[in-house]
Each structure stands twice: as structure tokens, then as C-alpha cells.
Amino acid sequence: MGSSPTYPLKDHRWAFRGQANATWKLEPSIERLRKMYFKSFIMDDAEGHVREAFKRRAHHYMRYLPGEKEELEWMALMRHHGAPTRLLDWTRSPYVAAFFAVAEASEGEESAIWAIDTEAIKTKAIHVLSQSGVIDKPEGSNFSFSDPDVFDRVFLHETHPAIVAPVQPLRTNERSSSQQGIFLCSNNSRAGFEFALKQLLKSDRDRVEASQRERKPEEEPRKAEDCSSCASHQTCVASS
């Protein structure tokens, strides 16, 4: 059918996330952990500590392990086994997202399906980070935030401005493959996923102004008139 706009899912640009409660925020497990232990929780120390502890013990339970420097592979493995990470699970399938949106929904509450154009946020993230000097502007179309060197430079050193980008480990487990899984990851664990996503969707002028203020995860949401330029939209569905 060619590239007809009638088939928006044809090129696998979109990622979906189903949540059983429409009021839940987009929060990776490490951010939810921070809420539980806010007074004693230091994000940088906790994230690194959990990752190193997992690496030290993983060989007792698994035969095939990522290389020492393959941090995205390690984080994906941690996520698979329930350890807290900055990775947020999404899927290429709207049907899988719909299942998770309603499977554990409570009666009388609304579920939600989030949809993000991953190519749009990837392009914007490249623009923002290359403008700020975090990365060199790619010359070809093969640039990937999943590349081990790029992932290390962008996501493991608290770079600025805050962005969110799609990442996918080279090796995937059976569950992730069957669910057509993909991760979205923020480069700034202190600010949080939603703050980073909002920053990415701002205009260049608004982003500069925001960077001059104290960064706060509780930043006010974008105005409604800016919605037409969003790469992210939320659709609520009634729970069954």
C-alpha cells in the first residue's frame, strides 16, 4: 500500500504503553522506589549500587551474561528480573498495550493507553543533544541511542538538557520479543521521566528559559495550544 497515511503503524514508528489507571504517571521503577524511600534515597547512588549488586550476583542464576560495558543490556536484564531501573517498558503493539491497560484495571476506574512517535522524539533528542554538545550531530541515518558508546555518554553521566529517547538492547528475552517490547529512557534520573519528556517537547526558546530556572519535576504542564506539536498523546479507555 506504499506509504499511505492510512496505515500509521506500518513503519513501526509508534510505541504504546497501557496503564491500568489513567491517573498514574509515566514512571520507571527507580522513580517509584524513590517515592517510597524519599528521605534516604539518593538517585545517583541507588541506581549505580543496584546495577553493580545485580552484576555481582547474576552469574549465580544465569549462564549467558552481557559484557561488563554493555550497560543497556544489563539494565534490560535487570528490568526483566524485576530490579529497579530507569528504563520504562513500551510496546510496538497497540493490542499488547490495550491488554495491559484493562487486564488489571479496577472496576469503575479508567485505564489509559499512551502513544509516542519514537522517531519524532529520537530526532528531537538528537537535535537537542547535538546543539548542547553532548553528542556530535550524526551524518547518516544509522545513529542509535542503543549503541553502547552513545548510551554510556548520554544516559550514564546525567547529561543536560533532559531528554527521553528510545533504546532497545541487541539481545531480547522471549517475553520482550513476544510483546514487541521497546524501552524509553531518560538521561536525567533526578528530574524524572515526565519532566524530561516535557522538556523535549518544548520549543528551543522555552527549553533555554527552563534551563535558566531551577529544574523541578513538578514543572507546570504545557499549555493546550501547544498540543499540536506533541510527539506524545494520551488516550483513555474505559476499563472492562
Q: pLDDT tens digits, residue range 163-205?
A: 999 999 987 655 556 678 899 999 987 788 999 999 888 876 6
Identify whether the C-beta of residue 239 lies closer than 8 Å to the C-beta of residue 20: yes
* Measured distance CA(105)–CA(219) in Å, rounded: 28
3-state secondary structure the chain: CCCCCCCCCCCCCEEEEEECCCCCCCCCHHHHHHHHCCCCCCHHHHHHHHHHHHHHHHCCCCCCCCCCCCHHHHHHHHHHCCCCCCCEEEECCHHHHHHHHHHCCCCCCEEEEEEEEHHHHHHHHHHHHHHCCCCCCCCCCCCCCCCHHHHHHHHCCCCCCCCEEEECCCCCCHHHHHCCEEEEEECCCCCCHHHHHHHHHCCHHHHHHHHCCCCCCCCCCCCHHHHHHCCEEEEEEECC
Average pLDDT, the chain: 80
Taking CA atoms, 229 is separated from 5, 124, 198, 226, in Å, by 18, 12, 12, 6
Indicate yes or no: pTM above 0.75: yes
Taking CA atoms, 133 is separated from 128, 139, 168, 196, in Å, by 9, 15, 24, 18
What per-residue confidence (pLDDT) applies to 239? 35
Q: What percent of the chain has pLDDT over 90?
A: 43
Single-letter amino acid, residue 42: I
- Range with the poorest average pLDDT among 4-8, 27-31, 44-48: 4-8
Q: How confident is the model at residue 59 (pLDDT cuts 50, 70, 90)?
A: confident
Look at the block and give the residue holding cell 485505564: 111
